[in-house]
Amino acid sequence: MFDASEAPARSGAPAAPPAPVPAAELPALRRRTSAVLIASQILGGLGVPIGIALAPVLATEVGGSEELSGLGPTASVAGTALLSLPLAALMTARGRRPGLVLAYLIGALGAGLVVLSTLVESFPLLLLGMAAFGAGSSANLQARFAAADLAEPERRGRAISTVIWATTIGSVLGPNIAAPVGRFFRGGPVSEQAGPFVFAAGIFLMSAMVVGALLRPDPLLTARGLAPQDEASAAGRSLRAGIAAVRASPMARLALTTVAVSHTAMVSIMVMTPVELGHHGAGLQLIGLVISSHILGMYAFSPVMGWLSDRFGRLAVIGLAAALLACATLLAGTASGSHGQTAAGLFTLGLGWSAGLVGGSALLTDSVPQAARAAVQGLSDLTMNTAAGVGGAVAGVVVARAGYGWLNAIGACLLLPMAALALRRALAPSAPPRD
């Protein structure tokens, strides 16, 4: 049913919040919102990993050089970054629902462009398609903040982690579906490697339909209606206000650093692992299994990270993230062709990313006023994906010229600023968290 409170105003003014929800109805609304987000995450999770697994392969195939292999996934990460602020601006003005729907639609368009690029053998078109495809990942990432909009402060970590966990089902199946879906296109005009992107386009369209039809009332607009009047002003919702909120909060700066470093280390190593496995005789099926184990680590244990974050604090989980990521770089970087050790390293890499994303996202939401949260969350995704995009681009060159081991060593060095900031904040006098 159409909700008039969420309709765009003709004047371009932000959408008015819906009528305040009675306190007795909030638990049911939280459950409904979580269920819709979980459904969209399961669907979106089927589509996004196809790009993770096949983008380096297609970039090498269409571009004709292994040094270009990192640019395929990098374009996807860059697209996620570039779309973060426009989507955050749309969500700030209109709510989570229109932003998530638009992101999934752009992702579907990008998947179609990827397929077209292989037919016309255009590397620039491939990069453009992968950049648009990254909008699907942006939608999946933003959904974690939608889950936090209505969550109680003491349960934010678990609310965020539950939605992240929902991606497990699709994300583990996605890379393994790539091979059989690809075989369906064998012998046709669409290549076996590009065929799974046709499937991804359909999945993103289904995700857009689920969110568009069912995410009502909008969680962000509802949360604004529940916020104290002094935190609900439109002036506090701009990107400038978001930047000011981060500058004013040391914990928010640590949170931004955590999600950026965790994501950069993970993406840089992950995108080059299929190429490294290929060098040591791994086929598409084995590559899919290794990426699935990695994604299992990323998502399946996120509820544990959320519980730890709420029970022992955000800083403890950030410290755990640094330790797990360091262990992952050691395992993967010294595998020397051992597929089992590489898989163990990638699984641990996923666990470290999960701890960093859950702990950092919860800390970021805790550390800024409600009115500025959507803008700050968009800034967070811009920062983490821009950094990861640079890391992915550099990763291909590092592996081609120095080797996969050196890439992991550089990834370990990236963890030092995050660990140092976390230790500094842990030793500093504590301040009461925001509601």
With 50 as the cut, is the pLDDT of residue 2 above it? Answer: no
Given pLDDT bands bounded at 50, 70 and 90, which one contains residue 434?
low
Average pLDDT on 396-415 reads 91
Percent of the chain with pLDDT strictly greater than 70: 90
When mean pLDDT is compared across 122-136, 227-241, 289-303, 408-422, the lowest value belongs to 227-241
CA–CA separation, 129 vs 173, rounded Å? Answer: 23
With 50 as the cut, is the pLDDT of residue 404 above it? Answer: yes
Cβ 99 vs Cβ 6: under 8 Å? no
Convert the pLDDT of each residue in 111-128 to its tens digit.
999 999 999 989 999 999
Helical axes 239-248 vs 71-94, angle rounded to 10°:
100
Average pLDDT on 403-414 reads 93
* Closest of 263, 257, 342, 350 to residue 302, by C-alpha: 350
Mean residue pLDDT of the chain comes to 85
* Closest of 205, 432, 410, 207 to residue 326, by C-alpha: 410
CA–CA separation, 171 vs 245, rounded Å? Answer: 34
Whether the bond between 217 and the residue before it is cis, its omega within 30 degrees of 0, is yes
pTM: 0.79
With 70 as the cut, is the pLDDT of residue 229 above it? Answer: no
Convert the pLDDT of each residue in 26-39 to its tens digit.
889 999 999 999 99
With 70 as the cut, is the pLDDT of residue 14 above it? Answer: no
Average pLDDT on 316-323 reads 96
pLDDT score for 17: 57
Cα torsion angle, 246, 252, 256, 261, sign = positive
Residue 221 structure tokens: 């607009």
Given pLDDT bands bounded at 50, 70 and 90, which one contains residue 231?
low
